Structure 1
Amino acid sequence: MRSWRDLAEVTSLDAAPFSSFAFGEFAQLEYTLLNYFNKSLDTYNMQFCSAVNVVKSFVIEAFGYHFSDIKNVFNIVAEHDDDENSVELLHLFGTSTPLGIVSPFIRTNFLKDSLPYYVYSIGRNYNPHSGQSSCIELLAFSNEHSQHLLLDDHHKAGDERAKNFEDMLKKSISTSVTINPNEVNLKSNSIDFIYIQLATIITSFYHRLNLPLRVCLSPSYELLSYESLRLTIEVYLPSQIDYVLVGSVSLIDDYLARRLMIKHSSDNKSYVAMVHARVADVSQLSKCVLEASQTIGRGIKLPSVLSIH
């Protein structure tokens, strides 16, 4: 079996660091997958958002980054037109990143009747370590905070809430193969229920691709500062003889809302709760699909759900 490098026309240039260029079928496959996920999300009537590329320092600090972190963040020095001696440090992440999709809602006060609210974006992700990638991000807002307790806290507290939550999550994901969009309830304000529903929906997208799949909860030491829970979705990449990360669903609750002043109603203390999902790292997923779609005659036969996109 050939690796995606043998099957795809991908080129890197010294003149364009952190970037690669795809040609032919591999480039087309990336757009086919983007279209597939876009139409799949549209089935659930979620709002599409054109997010932002560049944010100010207070935004990245809300996510736990340091404004001067040049190893993990692309920084831009911007001069002010009215004062040539005054400069401002800005930060490039891309339109399809957690920072990009949250930024349009900074200092927003949602009407209570407008929640829950679901929004997603499609675009590029810029990272000094992995370069550029095409991703799809999703964000859900609610006015009800999480009742979920992590298992360690559950044992200390002596109740069954954490265990019940994780049992419900596992059961729901196990049935995602046969999920019917018409039977999915996205109107509940429970952020825990929203988390389970989104994890189930997104997992179902991958099941339809008929790829070897692994879904698991991340241990607490792998969580980012703004996450209280993360479910990862991995797809098998034969050339690496391993599963690679292509998606995730994170429970944020009100961590970011408090730092970025995202509220509901007129109460100054009513912060929204959030769930963030990376629906797909399409650049990474394309490699998995390409390798899994090889035929005996050295051709490529894509999954049937992609042939109609």
Structure 2
Amino acid sequence: MFATRFATKRVIWSSQSIRQKWNNRSTKLRLFPSTSPIENSAEFNNIEIQLNNCHTCTCVSHHKSLKSENFLKRRVNFAAFHRRYSSYLFTPSAEGEHAAFIMKPEIDFETLRIKMKEMEDSVKFRSMDVNVEVVISMWDEIQQMEEQKKQLENERKKIKFRKGDKVSDEDMKKAKAQGRALREELRTVNSRISELTDQLYPMALRLPNFLHGDVPLGTDPVELESFTGHGGELKTVRFGKQESHELAHPGFVYLEDEGALLEQALLRWAAHQLNKKGFIRFSSPDKFKPIALEALGLDPDGTNQTYAVKTNEDSTYLTGASPIAFAAYFMMTVVDATNLPQRCYTVGKHYNSKNDTGRFDGFHNSFQTNKVEVCGLSEESIATSDMIFRQYVSLLKDLYSELPLKCRLLEIPSSQLLPSMYRKCTLEIWLPKTAEYVEAASVYSCTDYISRRLKIRHIGEGEDLTKHKSNRRFVHTVHGQFIDTGVLIEAFQQLAEDTNEMCIPGTIMSYMPKHSKMSLCNR
């Protein structure tokens, strides 16, 4: 419980309702961000704050008369209380001793300086608000301070006496005074380096990836090609569905009989095609910590694409099958070059809160669906990752050429790219009844954007994994969504005349399990 006193009156609020109650008053309590993962923690629930009946002050620390600031520090570890940093990917120096492990991404500032104009263009055409020049100037200042630090350390070494040296008292006194002065100067330099570093990294982590030369600048995608697939003879089947069950989350639909079997058949079909191409199958979790989301350029506290699941200790995010699964798996790993390129995929539920409207707007707009997500790891080379990107796009076209659907392939413009994306192509399919194209699949390259943030590296062929740490290079990653069952079920349904029917192509029928039709209860 969260307790506070107004004059002589004692009011007790639950941690869940405190924010709503305070926001309805002119006085607002600002102890932590509104999305802080610790708001339900034991520390939060045990805090007791004393406030004056003041309607002008908006900060607890202003209530000096009751010494509430000291009161807070006495009741909780204030440094541990503010666990939400400006970036989950970077641990400030002041918080190092409280963190489970230190995070410091390997951002390539030298390349950033060389390609400063390209980065400024990337920021501009993505409509982002990051000052590249400030980032570079701050990095240069840190490098100057590091050089000054080295010089001071060298001077300290020169004034040290070896054991057995005969030194007069006067020289010893002089050396000690000089040593104290150098230590003080080093302390000032180190403090300045830490201060600049704490400012630099959260700002630098907001920078996006560079843009591929083929990415359209602006807001309009470019159509690369269009085609219509051939999936063999179509079979019309009836299926059952129930919308808006009173005990289910609003907007979800129950699929029955042939509809439910079709969903599984689509996944088996895609998995079979990927297995033939040598992909490694993963079984991945559905919930991830915020650091994995931020590595892809998503804002864990502001994104509208994931569900936040809060516990007493931490916050996790419900994504299901997604590129986040692979980013989390390969985090802080070193891959042998003989295992590159590495191709893998995962099959499972996917959750997208952006589509959570509280009503059913078609299978293609469902907030819960099944997906097949792929990932590729390559050596630190644009040429190699571009090759895998083209291979994935080609594989995508081969897959959808086996389905009787009208498709088009688009190059996505800069304004629609996530910060981690170097380029992205999407495959859209035509829905005849609603007369619209909808995204069914996509492939995108992230080069070393994710690997530098999560320290995913590789070693050269023949190199010892325990040695040559300085020669470890960052892998490039290519990701893709190959199947969205919700979109395909909607497309097959719109091929049929009746809304309770769908046309299943022969390509998929061979993956439908043989079963005896069950009589389902009527509702």
The alignment's TM-score, normalised by the length of structure 2, stands at 0.46
The correspondence for 1:136, drawn from 344, 350, 372, is 372
Instruction: Give the whole-Å Cα distance in 1 for the aligned partners of 2:451 and 2:441.
Output: 23
* Partner secondary structure for residue 504 of structure 2: coil
**Is the 8 Å Cα contact of residues 11 and 22 (structure 1) preserved in structure 2?**
no
**Is the 8 Å Cα contact of residues 52 and 103 (structure 1) preserved in structure 2?**
no
The number of equivalent residue pairs is 253
**Is the 8 Å Cα contact of residues 239 and 257 (structure 2) preserved in structure 1?**
no
Q: Report which of the two has the higher share of strand.
A: 1
Alignment pair present for 1:230 and 2:424: yes
1:278 Cα deviation from its structure 2 partner: 0.3
Alignment pair present for 1:199 and 2:431: no
The correspondence for 1:260, drawn from 432, 454, 459, is 454
1:271 Cα deviation from its structure 2 partner: 0.6
1:144 Cα deviation from its structure 2 partner: 3.3
1:70 Cα deviation from its structure 2 partner: 6.6
Q: Deviations over 1:127-184 (max 9, x none)?
A: 112211110000000013214xxxxxxxxxxxxxxxxxxxxxxxxxxxxxxxxxxxxx
From the CA coordinates, give the structure whose radius of gyration is larger: 2
**Is the 8 Å Cα contact of residues 492 and 503 (structure 2) preserved in structure 1?**
no
Larger RCO of the pair (alpha carbons < 8 Å, separation 6+): 1
* Counterpart for residue 405 of structure 2: 211
**Is the 8 Å Cα contact of residues 56 and 89 (structure 1) preserved in structure 2?**
yes
Instruction: Give the whole-Å Cα distance in 1 for the aligned partners of 2:311 and 2:489.
Output: 36
* Counterpart for residue 347 of structure 2: 122
* Counterpart for residue 88 of structure 1: 314
The correspondence for 1:289, drawn from 480, 488, 492, is 492
1:71 Cα deviation from its structure 2 partner: 3.7
**Is the 8 Å Cα contact of residues 139 and 276 (structure 1) preserved in structure 2?**
yes
Instruction: Give the whole-Å Cα distance in 1 for the aligned partners of 2:308 and 2:486.
Output: 23
**Is the 8 Å Cα contact of residues 49 and 121 (structure 1) preserved in structure 2?**
yes
1:58 Cα deviation from its structure 2 partner: 1.3
Instruction: Give the whole-Å Cα distance in 1 for the aligned partners of 2:285 and 2:471.
Output: 26
Instruction: Please tell me the residue identity of whatever aligns with 1:225.
Output: P
**Is the 8 Å Cα contact of residues 373 and 479 (structure 2) preserved in structure 1?**
yes
Alignment pair present for 1:33 and 2:255: no
1:40 Cα deviation from its structure 2 partner: 0.9
The correspondence for 2:244, drawn from 12, 16, 20, is 12
Instruction: Please tell me the residue identity of whatever aligns with 1:16.
Output: A
Equivalent residues in 2 for 1:47-62, closer than 5 Å:
47-62=280-295
1:69 Cα deviation from its structure 2 partner: 2.6
Instruction: Give the whole-Å Cα distance in 1 for the aligned partners of 2:300 and 2:392.
Output: 31
Instruction: Please tell me the residue identity of whatever aligns with 2:315.
Output: L
* Counterpart for residue 178 of structure 1: none
* Counterpart for residue 153 of structure 1: none
Instruction: Please tell me the residue identity of whatever aligns with 1:100.
Output: A
Instruction: Please tell me the residue identity of whatever aligns with 1:29.
Output: L
Instruction: Please tell me the residue identity of whatever aligns with 1:139.
Output: C
Instruction: Give the whole-Å Cα distance in 2 for the aligned partners of 1:70 and 1:261.
Output: 24
Q: Which moved more, 1:63-72 or 1:125-134?
A: 63-72
Alignment pair present for 1:304 and 2:506: yes
Instruction: Please tell me the residue identity of whatever aligns with 1:92.
Output: L
1:269 Cα deviation from its structure 2 partner: 5.1
1:121 Cα deviation from its structure 2 partner: 0.2
1:290 Cα deviation from its structure 2 partner: 2.8
Instruction: Give the whole-Å Cα distance in 1 for the aligned partners of 2:354 and 2:376.
Output: 28
Instruction: Give the whole-Å Cα distance in 1 for the aligned partners of 2:303 and 2:451.
Output: 26
**Is the 8 Å Cα contact of residues 26 and 290 (structure 1) preserved in structure 2?**
no
* Partner secondary structure for residue 239 of structure 1: coil
Instruction: Give the whole-Å Cα distance in 1 for the aligned partners of 2:271 and 2:374.
Output: 11
Change (3 A) 1:141 1:14: same
Instruction: Please tell me the residue identity of whatever aligns with 1:218.
Output: I
Gaps of at least 5 residues in structure 1 are 1-5, 80-86, 148-189
**Is the 8 Å Cα contact of residues 493 and 501 (structure 2) preserved in structure 1?**
no
Equivalent residues in 2 for 1:174-193, closer than 5 Å:
190-193=384-387
Change (3 A) 1:10 1:236: farther
**Is the 8 Å Cα contact of residues 347 and 372 (structure 2) preserved in structure 1?**
yes
The correspondence for 2:306, drawn from 44, 51, 73, is 73
1:46 Cα deviation from its structure 2 partner: 0.7
Q: Deviations over 1:38-58 (max 9, x none)?
A: 111111011000112111121
Instruction: Give the whole-Å Cα distance in 2 for the aligned partners of 1:124 and 1:268.
Output: 39
The correspondence for 1:146, drawn from 368, 371, 382, is 382
Q: Deviations over 1:172-223 (max 9, x none)?
A: xxxxxxxxxxxxxxxxxx1111111110011110011121111111111111
**Is the 8 Å Cα contact of residues 116 and 141 (structure 1) preserved in structure 2?**
yes
Instruction: Give the whole-Å Cα distance in 1 for the aligned partners of 2:393 and 2:372.
Output: 14
**Is the 8 Å Cα contact of residues 145 and 254 (structure 1) preserved in structure 2?**
no
* Counterpart for residue 297 of structure 2: 64
Instruction: Give the whole-Å Cα distance in 1 for the aligned partners of 2:422 and 2:412.
Output: 10
Instruction: Give the whole-Å Cα distance in 2 for the aligned partners of 1:229 and 1:145.
Output: 15
